[in-house]
Chain A
C-alpha cells in the first residue's frame, strides 16, 4: 500500500511550476492575512485531571473524524479528476507529489491565521485550524490510493459499463468506487495512524508569542510531559492506545473484512475475518437498512444523476464546472505573479540564510538515512524470522500491531527525558523518534515478503543444503526485496515528516533543538519568520521529491521488474 512509488511518472517541468505556484500561493495567503489580522489567542490552563481523559479522547477523536471525512471527500474528487481527466492529470499528480512532501507545520501559520481571521475571538477558529492540520497529514496517501485504484480498472470492466450504457454516476457507484475500495480502506487505516502521529502538533501550537491549546488527548499528553507529570503522561498514553485499539477492532477490522468482497480475486493468504462484521451482517437491523434505506437511496441517486435531455449550452461561468475552471485559471494567474515576486524575494535573501537552509537539509537527510539504516538493520532479521515461522507469526502479529499503533510522538517526551542529558542527546533522540515512527512500515512489509516465499523455493534451498549467508543471498534477500523497497518508501516519507517534531522539542518549559531543516521549519513557523519558513519548506519539499524520483522510484521499478515472484 505504498503511495508515491507506484505512480509511474517521469520528470516533468510541471513539477517546477506547480511547486513554485503552491509556495507562492502559501506566501500570498500569509502576507494577505498577516496584514490585517488582529486576533486574540485563546489559551486556557490545561487540567491534568484523570476524569477529563474520556472527554479529551472524544474531542480528539471527533477532530480526527472531521479531518477524515474532509480527506475522504477531497480524495474522491481529486483522484477522480486526476484519473479520468487526462488534461487535469498532467497537473494534479505533480501537485500531489509536492503537497505530500510539505510537512504539516509548514501549513500551520497560513491555516491558523486564516481561520482565526474568519472566526475572530471564537474557539471555532483554532479548532477548524486543527482539523485542517490533521487533514494535511491524512489526505495525500488516500488520494494516491484512490487514484491508483481508478487507473488500474481493467479495460473489459470499463467496456462493460460503457456498452451497457451506465451513466457516469452509476459507473462511479458500481464500478469505479468499488474497484478502488480495498485500497481506500487500507489507506484510510494508514491515514488515521498518520493523524494520531501529528495529534500533539495539531492540538497545541503557538504562533509568535501566542499559544493555543485545544482540549484533547494531544494537549493532555504534551502538557503532562511539559510539567514532568509522568503518571498523567502514561495514563494519557494508555487512553490513546485504548482508543486506537478500539478503533481497530470495532471499525477497521470489520471494514477491512467487508472490503474483501471488492478484491478482484482472492489470491493466496487468509482473507481478513472479523467477528464484529459477522454479527453486524447477521443482524436483522442491517438487512432492513439495506432494503428500506440503502436500496431506495441508490435508486433515487440513479434517477437524480441521470443526464437529462441535452440542455442548451450555457456560458462557462454559469455552470459549476465552468465557474471552477475560471476560478482555477484566475488563481493560476495570481499564483504566477506571486511566484515571480517571491522568487525575487527569496533570491534577495542573504546567502547565509540559503547556506544555512541547505546545510540543515543535509543534516536532516543524514538523520533520515541513519534512521532508515537502523530500522532495516533490526526489522529484516526479525521480520524474516517471523515471516518464515507461521506459528510465531500468529502469536506475535497482534502484539506488533498494537506496538505499531502507538504514535511515536506520544512516546517522544519519555525518550527525550531519558536521553537529554547524554552527550548529543537530542541528536540521538531525534533519530530514535524517526526510527520509532517508521520502523513498522518496514517490519510489516518484510514479514509479508518472507511469508510469501513459495514453499517449493524453500524446499529447493533445503535440498541444495543452502545454509546461513548463502540462503540469505540466494533466496531470502531477493524474495523480500520488493517488499523491503515498498516499506522503505513509506518509511522514508514518514521519517522526513517526523523531523519536524523530532528536531525541535519543547519540554519541561525549555526548548531543545538540534540543527536540521525540521527544526528550522518548526522554529520559523512558531516565531513567524515566514521568509525562512518558506525557504526551508521549499528546500525540504524539493529534497523529498528529488529523493523519491531519483532513488525510490528507480529501486521500486527495478524490484518490480526483476525480483517479483509473479
Chain B
C-alpha cells in the first residue's frame, strides 16, 4: 500500500477521467466556460434524477437517498486517494462527525422553535464545517504518513468512535445515539409526495453539490497542486508548493464531503449512532471507491450504487433459489455475504481499474474499432 501513489497514478494514466496536469485547461476564459458547461450538465442530471424519484416507490427512494449519501463520502474519498495518494480508512468517522453535527444542530434549532429553511439548511452547514475541521486535524496529524500508516491511524479513529460517544454519552447519546428532529417536507408537497421522495431530493441535491464542487476542484489550481504533491513531493516543494498544506487541504475537503454524506444519512434516517459508522462500513466505502474506479468521480457514483444495489440484487436472487428448508437458517444472509465477497474478488481481478476503468477501456476499444471500419 505504500505504493498507493503509483496505484493512483496508474488509475489516472491513459484515458483516465481525472485530468492530469498536462491536459489541465490553461487559459482562464476557457476554464470558466467549461465550468459553466459542467453546471449545466450537473443541473440537467439532477433534474433527471429528481424526475426519476417519481418512478420509484418510497422504499426505493429511501435506497436512492442512501446511495446519494454514500456518493458524497465516496467522492470525497476517491479525490483524496486519487489526488494526493493518501489512504483513509476513517471516512466513516468523518461521516459520523457530520451526522452528529447535523443531529446536535437540528435538535438545538428545533428545541428553540426554529423551523423552515433554517432548520433544513443550517444543520447541513454545521455538519460540513464540523467534519472539515476534524478532517483538518486528522490531515495535519497524518500529513507525513504514507499508505498503510495513514490507513492504520484512520482505522484506529473509527474504532475509537464508540468510546467517544459513550464517554460523552450525555451529549452524544452513547451506544443508542441521537434521535434527530428534522425539518419535514414543505406543507405544499406533503399531499403530493411521500416523505421518502422528499428525502431523496435533499440527498440528490447534496450529492450533486459535492460532485460539482469536487469536479471543479479537480480542474482548479488547488487540484493540480495536489497532483503535483502526489507525483513528486520534492519537485512540488521546489516549485514553491507547500506539500503539508496541500495534503491537509485535501484531507479537509475530503472529510467535509464525507461529513455532508453523514448529515444526509442523519437527515434521512433521523438518527445518528456509533454502530452505523463502524469499521466494516468504513472498509465498504473504500471498496466502493476502488471497485468503482479509484480517483474518478463517476467511479465514486458506481461504487456507491453498488453498495446499495448489489445486496438488494443478491437478496433477490438468493430468495428465488429453491433452498432446502433445513439449510435455510444457516444460509440465511450468509449466502448473500458469500456471493458479495466472491463478486468483489472476481471484479477486482477482471477489472483492476474498477468499473469506470473498464468502461473507459471498453469505449476506447469500441471507438478504435469504429475508426478502423470507417477508415476502410
Pairing of A with B: no
